[in-house]
C-alpha cells in the first residue's frame, strides 16, 4: 500500500474512533452552542496557526448559520510566510507572548450568555491558554477541541502550568496522534502528513449539524446560508444581506 493510501486509511480509522468516542462531547458542546445561539448570542471560535482553519470552516460558510463568530487573527493565522512580515518567526513569538490572548479578547464584544470553542492540537501554547483562562474567569462556557494524546504528553508553556483540556468545561478529543504527523516512511527520520486539521474540521461541521438540530427542536430555526447554485438558482442578494445583518446584530446587540 502506498503512503498516500496509508494516510487515508489512517484518517478514516481516526474518524471512526472520533465518532465512537466523542459523540457525548460533541452533543454537550452542541447544547452549549444552541443555548447561546438560541438566546440571540454568539459562539466565539478561536485557534492559532492551523487551528484557525476549523474556525474559518464554521462561518461564513455554505451550510452554516448565524451565531458562530470566527476570531481569526492575521498574525496568528494559517497563512504564515517563511520570511518578512507575518513570518513564522513572528508567529512563534506571538503564540508565546503573555498578554496577547487578553488583548485579542478585548478586541471583540463578548456578551453574557455567549460561549467559546477553542481549537488547539497541542493545547499548551500561552496565547490559547490565556484566552481559555480569561473566558472561564468571565464565566463563559468553554469547549476545547484538542489532541488529548498529545496534550497529556506535553508540558504547558503558560506560567499557570495548565493545558487546554484541564480548563475547558467540555473536551472533544480530535483523536490525532502525538506530534500530529501520522505516516512513517522507511528511511525518513520524521513522520509526515498531519491529521489534526482534517479531524478538527470534521468536528466543527458535526457541531454545526448537531447544534442546528437542537435549535430546530427548540423552535428556534437558524438562519442558514444555502449554496449560490442551490436548485439551479442564484440566492438573491437580499438573503446575503440579511445573513450578514443578522450576524452584526448579534455581535453588536442592536
Instruction: Give the mean pLDDT of the chain.
Output: 89
pLDDT at 156: 84
pLDDT at 217: 97
Mean pLDDT of 60-73: 91
pTM of structure = 0.91
Asked if 251 and 109 count as a contact pair (C-beta separation under 8 A), the reply is yes
Question: What is the CATH architecture assignment of 3-219+237-252?
Answer: 3-Layer(aba) Sandwich (3.40)
Express each pLDDT in 147-179 by its tens digit: 999 988 888 888 888 999 999 999 999 999 898
pLDDT at 125: 87
Express each pLDDT in 191-228 by its tens digit: 999 999 999 999 999 999 999 999 999 999 998 887 66
Check pLDDT > 70 for residue 244: yes
Least confident of 96-100, 107-111, 153-157: 96-100
Q: At what angle do helices 126-137 and 88-95 cross, to 10 degrees?
A: 40
DSSP string covering 95-140: HT-TTHHHHHHHTS---TT-EEEEE-SS---HHHHHHHHHHHHTT-
Least confident of 9-13, 33-37, 103-107, 141-145: 103-107
Check pLDDT > 70 for residue 230: no
Residues paired with residue 144 on neighbouring β-strands, in sequence order? 118, 171
Report how far residue 228's alpha carbon sits from residue 122's, in angstroms, rounded to the nearest whole number: 37
Check pLDDT > 80 for residue 91: no
The whole-angstrom distance between residue 187's C-alpha and the CA centroid of its chain comes to 35
Amino acid at each position: 500500500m502506498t503512503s498516500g493510501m496509508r494516510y487515508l486509511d489512517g484518517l478514516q480509522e481516526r474518524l471512526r474512533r472520533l465518532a465512537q468516542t466523542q459523540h457525548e462531547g460533541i452533543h454537550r458542546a452542541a447544547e452549549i452552542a444552541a443555548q447561546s445561539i438560541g438566546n440571540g448570542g454568539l459562539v466565539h471560535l478561536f485557534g492559532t496557526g492551523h487551528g484557525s482553519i476549523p474556525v474559518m470552516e464554521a462561518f461564513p460558510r455554505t451550510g452554516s448559520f448565524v451565531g458562530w463568530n470566527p476570531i481569526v487573527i492575521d498574525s496568528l493565522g494559517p497563512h504564515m510566510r517563511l520570511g518578512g512580515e507575518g513570518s513564522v518567526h513572528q508567529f512563534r513569538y506571538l503564540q508565546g507572548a503573555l498578554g496577547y490572548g487578553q488583548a485579542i479578547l478585548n478586541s471583540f464584544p463578548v456578551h453574557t450568555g455567549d460561549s467559546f470553542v477553542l481549537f488547539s492540537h497541542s493545547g499548551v501554547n500561552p496565547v490559547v491558554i490565556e484566552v481559555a483562562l480569561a473566558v472561564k474567569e468571565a464565566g463563559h462556557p468553554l469547549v476545547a477541541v484538542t489532541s488529548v494524546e498529545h496534550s497529556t504528553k506535553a508540558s504547558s508553556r503558560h506560567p499557570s502550568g495548565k493545558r487546554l483540556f484541564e480548563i475547558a468545561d467540555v473536551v472533544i478529543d480530535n483523536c490525532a496522534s502525538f506530534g500530529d504527523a501520522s505516516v512513517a516512511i522507511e528511511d525518513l527520520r520524521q513522520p509526515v502528513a498531519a491529521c489534526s486539521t482534517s479531524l478538527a474540521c470534521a468536528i466543527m461541521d458535526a457541531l454545526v449539524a448537531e447544534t442546528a438540530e437542537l435549535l430546530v427542536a427548540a423552535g428556534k430555526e437558524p438562519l442558514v446560508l444555502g449554496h449560490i447554485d442551490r436548485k439551479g438558482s442564484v440566492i438573491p442578494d437580499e438573503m446575503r444581506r440579511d445573513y450578514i445583518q443578522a450576524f452584526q446584530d448579534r455581535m453588536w446587540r442592536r
